Structure 1
Amino acid sequence: MKTPLAASALVLLSTGAFAETIGQNALKRVAPALEAYTTGPLQADVWENETLAERDRALVTFAAMLTRHEVGLLPDHIALALDAGVSPAEISETITHLAFYSGWGNAIAAAEAAAPVFEARGVDIADLPPVSPELLPLNEEAEAARDQMVRNNFGEVSPGVVDNTRDLLFRDLWLRPDLAPRDRSLVTVAALVAAGQPEQMPFHLSRAMDNGLTQDEAGEVLSHLAFYAGWPRVFSAMPVAKQVFEQRAE
């Protein structure tokens, strides 16, 4: 039996977002085979697979679309994420976080896409994360080791990147409390896969698992993203995931 969210995903994928751009019943008129894949493997199998919660799937999809600058699809997928239990504060914080990982322009475009959705749902500025919240505790030892490794490797290449990575990302952004560490890691990994940057995944996937993402969930994230980022990007990411899984099992 389809859940209400799964049913809304079906409407979104087969008529909603696409209808706004190329007309009602576009898939039936233009690519009926694509409609069959959408309502079959993607809707009935992937979105219904309980290995990854629907909320997580919606968040991963949003992160991938933001990264890929798929602005035409973002409003409906933001609404879908909200219906799945992602809060407006978490949407806001995901946009802020991914500015650093997917680029400022993509994040600004996502904010523009979210604005009418938030307005229609009565989301107020008070519902969103403050600019300067009380930060989560920092693991000083782990952060010192990470910073020293980066500084040793790249300190003479770009001191500014090294310093900003320490001060802006790991001593500020990653400690903001309105996106749980697991979710922050989840959207980062999704963005790296969607951007085709698997070389950056080992640290972030391992960190995601330290933050509570299971190996089964991580594998299902890849299965989900195959549909939204494409099989080639996912196959580029799978050897990296395999290496991380094997190293953590040692």
Structure 2
Amino acid sequence: MKIVAAAAVAAALLATPSANAQESRMSETLKAVAPALDRYREQTLLGGVWKRTDLSARDRGIVTLAALIARNEPGEMAFTMNRALDDGVAPREVSEIITHLAFYAGWPNATSAVAVAKDVFAARKIGPDQLPSASPDPLPLDEKAEATRAETVGRQFGAIAPGLVRNTTDVLFRDLWLRPDLAPRDRSLVTVVALIATGQTAQIPYHLGRAMDNGLKPPEVGGVLTHLAFYVGWPSVFSALPVVKDVIEKRSR
């Protein structure tokens, strides 16, 4: 029995290499093709940005995973998902991030992430008991704020796309946003990351304001931008920067 158990443990370890082993494998690959990129990754990204204190390790996992899903970039997704889980992001939160981003980055991107998560969850023996319910009891709704939002959107766009306006109210803000297995602050964080990652700057003011209402602090916003420059590129971040700056400055007046 002990031999069988030991073999099972060994097999599990082989199936889920440690973060250090995965990083070592990535470094070897980069050195074989782009040694300068490996230096930047080791010294600037992993040795610098990931160690900054303006975001927690857990937040960095959420931000990185959301960016990769939003841009449909599976190359580092399994590594990032494992690291996020190691840094305290719960399986139910990973599941909710994927579900949320189906609406904010597109259904195909979410289903691509599901394929990666399925293997990660299987290797880590994450079962249905660790995942959110399909229809949980919702969080309380801010009736006044939601009524104002719905009235504004309906007045502006109800005659053009009534189905979209109805789904925005019924599916997004009265269902998706009230799911309890991803905290409102983290759900807002994921949304802002997706908007920056996909260049949707027009939507940033509303969602960044909502994120800050939900507890995201200005230094953390700066940390998100600094982090995302490496994962979505400097142009995407600098395109978002003036909009973010304007939101923060207006809130501080």
TM-score by length of 1: 0.91
1:129 alignment partner in structure 2 = 132
Amino acid at match of 2:167: N
**What CA distance in whole angstroms lies between the structure 2 residues aligned with 1:10 and 1:224?**
20
Residue 82 of structure 2: aligned partner: 79
Q: Percent identity?
A: 56
Shift of 1:121: 1.0
What letter is aligned with 2:73? E
Contact 1:10–1:39, Cα closer than 8 Å, also in 2:
no
Q: Which of residues 15, 18, 43 is equivalent to 2:25? A: 15
Gaps of 5+ in 1: 1-7, 17-23
Matching of residue 116 in structure 1 with residue 119 in structure 2: yes
How many residues in Structure 1 have an aligned counterpart in Structure 2?
Answer: 236
Q: In structure 2, how many angstroms separate the alpha carbons of the residues matched to 1:40 and 1:11?
A: 18
Instruction: Provide Cα deviations, 1:64-119, integer angstroms capped at 9, x if missing partner.
Output: 00011111221111111100100000000110000000100000010110001101
C-alpha distance in 2 between matches for 1:232 and 1:120? 36
Match of 1:198 among 191, 196, 201: 201
Look up the equivalent residue of 1:197 and give its one-letter code.
Answer: Q
The answer to whether 1:30 aligns with 2:40 is no
The answer to whether structure 1 residue 48 and structure 2 residue 58 are counterparts is no
Matching residue's letter, 2:230? F
C-alpha distance in structure 2 between counterparts of 1:230 and 1:82, whole Å: 24
The alpha-carbon distance between structure 1 residues 11 and 68, as it changes in their structure 2 partners (threshold 3 A), is: farther
Q: Contact 2:55 / 2:220 at 8 angstroms: preserved in 1?
A: yes
Deviations 1:210-231 (A, max 9, x none): 0001000001100000000000
Q: Which has the larger radius of gyration?
A: 2
**1:148 is matched with which residue?**
151
Q: Does 1:243 align with 2:246?
A: yes
> Take 2:240 and 2:226, find their aligned partners in 1: how far apart are those partners?
11
Number of the residue aligned with 1:224: 227
Structure 1 segments of 4+ aligned residues over 2 angstroms from their partners: 8-16
| Paired position in structure 2 for 1:5 | none
SS of structure 2 residue aligned to 1:133: coil
Query: In 2, Cα distance between the equivalents of 1:117 and 1:53?
Result: 23
Asked if the contact 1:13–1:38 (Cα under 8 Å) also holds between the matched residues in 2, the reply is no
How far did 1:29 drift?
1.4
- Which has the higher mean CA deviation after the structures are superposed, 121-130 or 175-184? 121-130
Unpaired segments ≥5 residues, structure 2: 1-17
Answer whether contact 2:67 2:197 (CA < 8 A) is retained. Answer: yes
- 1:97 partnered with 2:100: yes
Q: CA RMSD in A?
A: 1.3
Counterpart residue identity of residue 56, structure 1 = D
